[in-house]
Structure 1
Amino acid sequence: MSIFEELHDRKNTRSVKWDMLKSVFQSEDVLPMWVADMDFKAPEAVNNALVKRARHGIYGYTVIDDDVTDSIMNWIEKRHNWTIDKEWLSFSPGVVTSLHLAIQAFTEPDDKIIIQTPVYTPFYNVIEQHDREVVKNPLVLENGSYTVDFSDFEEKLKQGVKAFLLCSPHNPTGRVWKREELEEIARLCCKYDVIILSDEIHADLIYPGEQHTPIASLSEEIADRTITCMAPSKTFNLAGLQASYVITTNKEKRARFNEHLSKQGHGMLNTMGNTALEAAYVHGEAWLDELMTVIKSNQEYVTEMLEKHTDLKVTRPEGTYLLWIDCSALNLEKSDLNKFMIEKAKVGLNAGASYGDDGANFMRMNIACPKSTVKEGVKRIIDALNAT
């Protein structure tokens, strides 16, 4: 049996995904396919490294040494064709933490910050919680895939936007931006002197045949205005270990970001996060390649079954393990759509409305789980729709 076919009982492990069903869905009787972590064990090399470290039994202050930084540099060069220097690296507990810090470091209260909706919910929070203004550049759904409305993007940039919060690959739509799309985004940001805060946490979760391009890798000019946030957490299911990093090529911007890191008391990774990051990047590549064949197979199954047996449509993803499902044919209000999935289908998905008004007719499904779980989730949805 493949390691990706094994079922693991995650209940009573303080799992957000499995142990918060009552508070999130007001029901224990739903199959959780929502928050973005996986129901797969991390690579065995990661688990072995953590066990070895635990056996040592001392968890004092931990340094980020050359072995850790080299593992990051080698991974990014091999997987993303980008050569970076270790001096460019800063570290924080998570990408969202880094985005909060970047907003504080590079913008001022009342500044306008542009996002491409529908988009990852915390993007709204990291702007509004610091008294900045959200400016929306809605993505356009065409033939089952999303594209950038560049005319609208430029019009919005002309309004005095100070920063662009880029989601690459895009969550929840699953788009992996093509190089030419990123080049046009970068050209316009340079033209209007807009800093790019790039969330690339899903960079490694790319379907076979696709390629992620870090926007900062396009040119020195683009890198000079880009803050790139990455982590192994989504890639290897390590979110609970809280280890992420930021790549900033510009010396002055890096010093400014690090100053805000210091003001918040950040600067080192926890012992286990440090250990897992290195082990994953050094030994996890084969595991990841197998994972993405599993995710692709799961995506194809969900798409085929829903489109064969229901009026639901799955947008064409190129990356991530998240599916963006168009439920507009059901003609339900957003609250009724979410209620239907919970009470009738007994499946816990993410409500599309939480990603912006243009996601109101959608649901987000996490397919990073064994095929048997995927089949059960799809069956529940199909049966519930057939019963209406």
Structure 2
Amino acid sequence: MKYDFKTLVSRKGTGSEKWEQMYAWNPQVGDDVVPFSVADMELKSPPELIDGLKRFLDNAVLGYTMPYDGFYDAVIGWQKTKHNWNIKKEWIVNTPGVVDAFYAAMRAFTNPGDGVIIFKPVYYPFSMAIDDNERELVNCPLINTNGYYTIDYDKFDELAKEPKNKLLIFCSPHNPVGRVWNKEELERVAEIAIKNDLIVVSDEIWNDLIMPGYDHTVFATVNEQLNDRLITCTAPSKTFNLAGLAISNIIISNENLRKEFKKAIDVVRGGTVNILGYKACEIGYTKCEGWLEEVIKLVDTNQKVVKKFFEDNFPKIKAPLIEGTYLQWVDFNALKMTNKLLEKFMHMEAEFFLDEGYIFGIEGSGYERINLAAPTHVIEKALKRLEKVLKKVYK
């Protein structure tokens, strides 16, 4: 392996969101405990990225910045070579993050009281954006068949027909259940959205993190008619662990839709991206594909480690393999604990810090989301810690 995926970099005292959160939950945890909650990586950054930023900073003037040709070329080239998606420079709208895009789309294409459809359990800022903007959350729960999730098309069609429901926020690949929707599934969602005049926000921030044997299909490529009502959210942040540099590329081919979206972003000055965000995106998309390929192999190894751990030691706890993202969705309902009791057990007894399933919706009750983007030996150590306390409560 060309890259160092064994060294653990302690983020204690650096302002890391999930590390600070861990110490707030349990101030007594040792320095060898690592959180697996918030979705950024516990891996050293791509060396090509760090070296590229260093060279850039040697001569940079850190003033006001806007997108430039090299940046656009990198984004367009990545989408073409990685996803077989031909986009144009003028389609790209920059925001600090995809969550900003959810909020902007809410303001641009709906009014207070309008319904917004989501498929729970799902990334919780979907719900936050709906509630904070005083829209009505319309849930179309995914169908869970022994840990494998599919879309309830009949329910979705029924909800889409309601005139008050104006917008769909769609997660592809899906966080937290790890599904990579296939082309046929996406075509059915597109047909229902088009037929019922829904605007669609497709969150594809995980589109580069696909496990071996699976392929991501860009939603914009499945039905030409869909593009007149589609906002596609992409970013290098999950791909190259750049969340702290706040750069996202929101791709909107329909000019009128794009104008309305930009108005909503401009109202809150939400289109400002920092100079290092642009440069890091360019470097990631042009220099770091090899690093990404190795990360995917690591995540695939780690998910199999987790799955085998539960199968061998606690078979009633289910950890299905994921198709995409680096987040494994583990079913702890066999412990018959309430959400709060499970949370306390994980934080205080196991010192195993994850994202609690219930924050993704009631459908996530009894589940935990494990971030697999960490050195394998670090995950194995955490599982050994978990094993000691699980033996006391597992029946």
TM-score (norm 1): 0.97
Q: 1:40 aligns with which of 43, 48, 63?
A: 43
Contact kept, 8 Å, 2:117 with 2:140, in 1: the verdict is yes
Once the 2 structures are TM-superposed, how far is the Cα of residue 144 of structure 1 from its aligned partner? 2.7
Residue 218 of structure 2 corresponds to 214
CA offsets 1:204-253 (integer angstroms, 9 cap, x no match): 01001211111112132111111001100011000000000110010100
Q: Which letter does structure 1 place at the counterpart of 2:119? A: Q
- CA distances 1:308-327 after superposition (whole Å, capped 9, x unpaired): 10121013310111010001
Q: Letter of the 1:97 partner, please give it.
A: D
- Are 1:375 and 2:380 matched, yes or no? yes
2:81 pairs, out of 78, 82, 100, with: 78
CA shift, 1:191, in A, is 0.8
Distance 1:195 1:25, change over 3 A: farther
1:336 partnered with 2:341: yes
Aligned-partner residue type, residue 269 of structure 1: V
Paired AA for residue 101 in structure 1? A
The answer on whether the counterparts of 2:187 and 2:223 sit within 8 Å (CA) in structure 1 is: no
SS of the aligned residue for 1:368 comes to coil
Tell me: CA distance 1:257–1:80, structure 2 relative to 1, closer, same or farther (3 Å): same
Q: Flag the 1:333–1:267 CA change in 2: closer, same or farther, 3 A.
A: closer
Give aligned pairs, total: 388
The amino acid of 2:249's aligned partner reads Y
- Structure 1: how far apart are the matches of 2:77 and 2:57? 26
Query: What is the alpha-carbon distance in structure 2 between the residues aligned to residue 165 and residue 57 of structure 1?
Result: 38
Conserved? CA contact 1:322–1:365, under 8 Å:
yes
2:264 matches 1:260: yes
> Which residue of the partner structure matches residue 19 of structure 1?
20
Structure 1 equivalent of residue 328 of structure 2 = 323
Alignment partner, residue 276 of structure 2: 272
* Residue 92 (structure 1) aligns with: 95
Counterpart for residue 351 of structure 2: 346
The amino acid that maps onto 1:257 is: F
Q: Which moved more, 1:24-33 or 1:222-231?
A: 24-33
CA apart distance, 1:281 = 0.2
Is 2:251 the counterpart of 1:251? no
1:363 is the counterpart of 2:363: no
Residues 26 and 136 of structure 1, relative CA distance in 2, 3 Å threshold: farther
Distance 1:287 1:27, change over 3 A: same
Whether the aligned pair in 2 keeps the contact of 1:145 and 1:316 (CA below 8 Å) is: no
Distance across 1 between alignment mates of 2:249 and 2:188? 26
Secondary structure, counterpart of 1:267 in structure 2: coil
Instruction: String of CA shifts for 1:104-123, please: whole Å, max 9, x gaps.
Output: 11111100000000011111
Alpha-carbon distance between aligned partners in 2 of 1:324 and 1:260, rounded to the nearest angstrom:
34
Which one of the candidate residues 312, 317, 325 is aligned to 2:317?
312
Unaligned runs of 5+ in 1: none
Q: What is the distance in 2 between the residues matched to 1:55 and 1:119?
A: 42
CA displacement at 1:14 relative to structure 2: 1.2
Matched, 1:125 2:125: no
Q: Which amino acid aligns with 1:375?
A: E
Question: 1:343, CA displacement in angstroms?
Answer: 1.6
Query: Which amino acid in the other structure matches residue 11 of structure 1?
Result: K
What is the CA-CA distance between 1:382 and the residue it aligns to?
A: 1.6
- Using a 3 Å threshold, how does the CA distance of structure 1 residues 299 and 335 change in structure 2: closer, same or farther? same
1:194 alignment partner in structure 2? 198
Give the equivalent residue in structure 1 for 2:144. 141
Aligned to 1:291: 295
Residues 219 and 362 of structure 1: CA distance in aligned 2, closer, same or farther (over 3 Å): same
- Residue 224 (1) aligns with residue 225 (2): no
Measured in 2, the distance between the counterparts of 1:213 and 1:352 equals 27
Per-residue CA deviation, residues 237-281 of structure 1 (Å, 9 max, x unaligned), is: 000000001100101001111112222223342111011000000
Moved more, 378-387 or 194-203: 378-387
Question: Does residue 236 in structure 1 map to residue 240 in structure 2?
Answer: yes
Tell me what 1:106 maps to: 109
Equivalent residue of 1:32, what SS? coil
- Separation in structure 2 between the aligned mates of residue 315 and residue 149 of structure 1, nearest angstrom: 20
Q: CA deviation at 1:20?
A: 2.8
Partners in 2 of 1:109 and 1:276 — Cα distance?
37
Runs of 4+ displaced beyond 3 Å: 24-31
SS at structure 1 position matched to 2:105: helix
Give, in whole Å, the separation in 2 of the partners of 1:73 and 1:58.
Answer: 26
d(CA) in 2 for partners of 1:226, 1:251:
11
Once structures 1 and 2 are overlaid, which stretch shifts more, 227-236 or 333-342?
Answer: 333-342
Contact 2:29-2:351 at 8 Å conserved across structures: no
Deviation track 1:38-72 (CA, whole Å, cap 9, x = no partner) reads 01122112111211222225201113111101111
Q: Structure 2: which 5+ residue stretches go unaligned?
A: none
**Offset at 1:330?**
0.6
Compute the RMSD of aligned alpha carbons: 1.4
